[in-house]
Structure 1
Amino acid sequence: MRQNNFDVLRLGAALGVFMAHGSLFYDLQISSFFNGVYSIGSLSVYVFFFVSGYLNFQSWNRGPQWASFGTKRALRIFPGLLVAAFVSVFVIGGLMTTLDLTDFLASEQTWVLFLNYASALATQNDLPGVFANNPIPHAVNGSLWTIKYEVMMYVLLVVFGMAFGLSRRLLVAAVVVSAAAFLLVKDPSLDEGAVTWRDFWQFAAIFFAGAAFNYLPVNQRHWVIPPMLVGFVIACTGTNLAVVQGGVFLCLPCAVFLLAYWRPLTRIRLRHDLSYGIYIYAFPVQQAIAEISLRHGISKPSYMAMALGLVLLLALASWIFIERPAIAWSRSLVTSFHRHLVTRPS
């Protein structure tokens, strides 16, 4: 039996983003929580970043060399992302565009978006003649915008690990500074450019909270219940935006940590890790099925079921044919790298 539930939590987070976007794309309806500040999608993204911080801290500690760590992270992110960018732009975009396919492929905008997605920047989001009349128009794969922040967290983890060591004090300081910057700094000029700094700070706070939770013994996890409840009450009752967000920052990491080691969940056995595939394919698939459904009067439940089925198939294919082989390759490369270091003459 598994000793933790991180795979289940990531799958739940991916499906949370799917559910939030699915309703929004069909009729602009979205469920919100904590006085309307957060959706299930935004909370699910926080779960991803917390779990990533927790597990990547362990990965760094097992082999604190930037080359091996970077190889593993790059081969976990970019092979699947590259194929998803191709499918989003050339397959789904090519099928859904109102332009002639020759004109679509000849458009500079088409190729620019592919490169923008494949590089993990995701600062652009529209294709010529694609989803122009959808409830959320001109958005092809909006979920990819968070990946660049994930990569930035990896870089920071390596920098901190090499320069200072990932001590408890350093990680707590990173959480406090990041959370304070997100909650207190309100400069609109910081939201211009490829990186939105408020987004950077919120994800850094959650990611390094995940890393810091490694210092809390699992057998003493019940100690996080009181701060979790306090954070939940603050998030539910706060009338100030920063107060609500602060409550979520306190509540959510504690809740995820408790669920990660909640024994009933360990009975769920997952043969395949579909979470990343769901995340990188759901948005364009849902947009395409939404356009078809609205055009032909297909009901919202039927639209959601069709989209989920297709997304799960794409996620399964991504895991079996792209992600899992890339992970195996990264392990082989890291093993060869370590063997070279051991056998290299001094």
Structure 2
Amino acid sequence: MRENNFDLLRLMAALGVFWAHGSLFYDLQITPFFNNTYSMGSLSVYVFFFISGYLNVQSWSRTAQWTAFGIKRALRIFPGLLAAAFVSVFVIGGLMTTLDLKSFLSSGQTWGLFVNYGTGLATLNDLPGVFAHNPIQNAVNGSLWTIKYEVLMYVLLVLFGMTLGLSRRILVLVVAVSAAAFLLVKIPALDEGAISWRDFWQFATMFFAGAAFNYIPVDRRLWLVPPMLVGFVIACTSTTLAIVQGSVFLCLPCAVFLLAYWKPLTRIRLDQDLSYGIHIYAFLVQQAITEISQRHGISKPIYISSWRWSSC
């Protein structure tokens, strides 16, 4: 039997993003949590980054060599990403475009998006004649935008591992600085360009929180219950944005860590980790279903049933 539930939690997070996008694609509505601050999708992305930080520190500790670590991470991300880029641009894009196929394939925009997606940048998101009339227009595979931040976290992990080390003190300091930068520093100009620094800081907070949780003994994890509950109550009741966000930074890592080692969940066996595949294809599939549904006047209940079925 598995000793932890991280694969299951990653699958739940991937489905959380998928679920959150459902109503958003059809009628631009999304269910908010914690005083309208977070959606199920944004909380699920936090779960991804926390688990990634927790597991990748363990991976680094086994080798502590940047080339081996980098090769492992590249093989984890880029083969699937390149396949998703190809399917997004040339398969779904080619089938859905309102242009003739020759014009579509000869467009620099088509090839530019393939390169942009395949390299993990995802700073572009539209194809000529594709999803132009959907509620979320000209967005082919919007879920890929978080991958560049994941890669940045790997780079930072290696830099810290090779220079300052990954001691408990260093990791807690990184979490504190990242959280403070996200909660307190709000300069719109910093969000211009390929990287949004506010996204960078919030993901760094969760990633390195996961890394720091390696120093919490699993057999002493129950002491996390009080801070989790305190953070949850404050996040639900506060009307101050920074306090809500800070409380989520407190309660969510505790909840994920507790669930990761909750024994009843270990009875659910997963032969494969499907979370990455769901993450890099869900948005694309939902956009295609949305266009087909609205083109043929399919009602929302049938539409929702179709995208739920496609997640199985």
Range class of TM-score, shorter chain:
over 0.9
CA contact (8 A) 1:10 1:48 kept: yes
Q: Is 1:259 equivalent to 2:270 in the alignment?
A: no
3-state SS of paired residue (2:64): coil
Alignment partner, residue 84 of structure 2: 84
**Structure 1: 5+ residue stretches without partners:** 313-346
Alignment partner, residue 22 of structure 1: 22
Q: Separation in 2 of the partners of 1:165 and 1:184?
A: 27
Alignment partner, residue 175 of structure 1: 175
Alignment partner, residue 58 of structure 1: 58
Alignment partner, residue 116 of structure 1: 116
Alignment partner, residue 328 of structure 1: none
Q: Deviations over 1:38-96 (max 9, x none)?
A: 00000000000000000001000111100110000000000000000000011111111
* Partner amino acid, structure 2, of 1:129: G
* Partner amino acid, structure 2, of 1:286: Q
* Partner amino acid, structure 2, of 1:239: T
Q: Is 1:304 equivalent to 2:304 in the alignment?
A: yes
RMSD over aligned CA atoms reads 1.0
Alignment partner, residue 337 of structure 1: none
Query: Displacement, 1:295?
Result: 1.8
Q: Separation in 2 of the partners of 1:219 and 1:304?
A: 42
Q: Deviations over 1:230-253 (max 9, x none)?
A: 111111111111111001000100
Q: Separation in 2 of the partners of 1:249 and 1:72?
A: 28
Query: Displacement, 1:299?
Result: 3.1
Q: Is 1:132 equivalent to 2:132 in the alignment?
A: yes
Q: Separation in 1 of the partners of 2:84 and 2:99?
A: 22
Q: Separation in 1 of the partners of 2:177 and 2:143?
A: 26
TM-score for the superposition, normalised by structure 2: 0.98
Q: Is 1:238 equivalent to 2:254 in the alignment?
A: no
* Partner amino acid, structure 2, of 1:304: I
* Partner amino acid, structure 2, of 1:245: Q
3-state SS of paired residue (2:194): coil
Q: Deviations over 1:219-274 (max 9, x none)?
A: 10001111111111111111111111001000100000000001111010111211
Alignment partner, residue 9 of structure 2: 9
Query: Displacement, 1:308?
Result: 4.2
3-state SS of paired residue (2:271): coil
Q: Deviations over 1:288-321 (max 9, x none)?
A: 1011112222233432343344455xxxxxxxxx
- Map 1:109-258 onto structure 2 (within 5 A): 109-258=109-258
* Partner amino acid, structure 2, of 1:102: K
3-state SS of paired residue (2:35): coil
CA contact (8 A) 1:281 1:311 kept: no
Q: Deviations over 1:176-218 (max 9, x none)?
A: 0000000000100000010110100000000000000000000
Alignment partner, residue 293 of structure 1: 293
Q: Separation in 2 of the partners of 1:9 and 1:199?
A: 22
Q: Separation in 2 of the partners of 1:76 and 1:262?
A: 27
Q: Separation in 1 of the partners of 2:129 and 2:144?
A: 20
Q: Separation in 1 of the partners of 2:146 and 2:246?
A: 21
Q: Separation in 2 of the partners of 1:299 and 1:47?
A: 33
Q: Separation in 1 of the partners of 2:161 and 2:305?
A: 44
* Partner amino acid, structure 1, of 2:243: V
CA contact (8 A) 1:54 1:207 kept: yes
CA contact (8 A) 1:228 1:251 kept: yes
**Structure 2: 5+ residue stretches without partners:** none
3-state SS of paired residue (1:186): coil
* Partner amino acid, structure 2, of 1:189: A
Alignment partner, residue 94 of structure 2: 94
TM-score for the superposition, normalised by structure 1: 0.89
Q: Separation in 2 of the partners of 1:300 and 1:278?
A: 22
Percent pairwise identity: 77
Q: Separation in 2 of the partners of 1:160 and 1:308?
A: 41
3-state SS of paired residue (1:99): coil
Alignment partner, residue 316 of structure 1: none
- Map 1:65-80 onto structure 2 (within 5 A): 65-80=65-80
3-state SS of paired residue (1:287): helix
* Partner amino acid, structure 2, of 1:108: G
Q: Separation in 2 of the partners of 1:276 and 1:20?
A: 16
Q: Separation in 2 of the partners of 1:196 and 1:19?
A: 25
